Structure 1
Amino acid sequence: MEIDHHTLVGFAKSFGLFYLLAMAAAAIIYACWPANRARFDKAARDIIDDEDTPWR
């Protein structure tokens, strides 16, 4: 079986789409996982706490 350009491009587009969807789902699951809530809340507070004084 010979692989031509159109077959290879179609496979690459399909695999890329599924790879992108899997990575997006993994990122959303990681961000919404209950055990990570404290870490993200601390990071959000630290950014605001650092900006309460004038820049020197």
Structure 2
Amino acid sequence: METYTFLRELADSWVLLAMVIFYVTACLWAFRPGARPANEEAARIPFRHDAAAPAQPQDPEAN
């Protein structure tokens, strides 16, 4: 058997299966219930050094 043919068959079967299993495992790991605090902290990283924004936008016509 040629090396290319062997590697092609390996990639088409077992490596594809391994990648699918890795993807499903990564998705389940990221969306597990215990990961909520870590995910929320990671979501706030871009805004960590921003100044506190007002809770409600001020309407100039309300006065």
Compare 20-29 and 40-49 and name the one that shifted more. 40-49
Amino acid corresponding to residue 38 of structure 1 in structure 2: P
Poorly superposed stretches of 4+, deviation over 6 Å: none
Q: What percentage of residue pairs aligned between the two structures are identical?
A: 22
Compare 30-39 and 10-19 and name the one that shifted more. 10-19
Counterpart position of 2:17: 18
Larger Rg over CA atoms:
2
Compare 10-19 and 20-29 and name the one that shifted more. 10-19
Greater relative contact order, per chain length (Cα 8 Å cut-off, separation 6+):
1
Count of aligned pairs: 49
| Bigger helix share | 1
CA distance in 2, matches of 1:38, 1:49: 15
Which structure 1 segments of 5+ residues have no match? none
Which structure 2 segments of 5+ residues have no match? 52-63
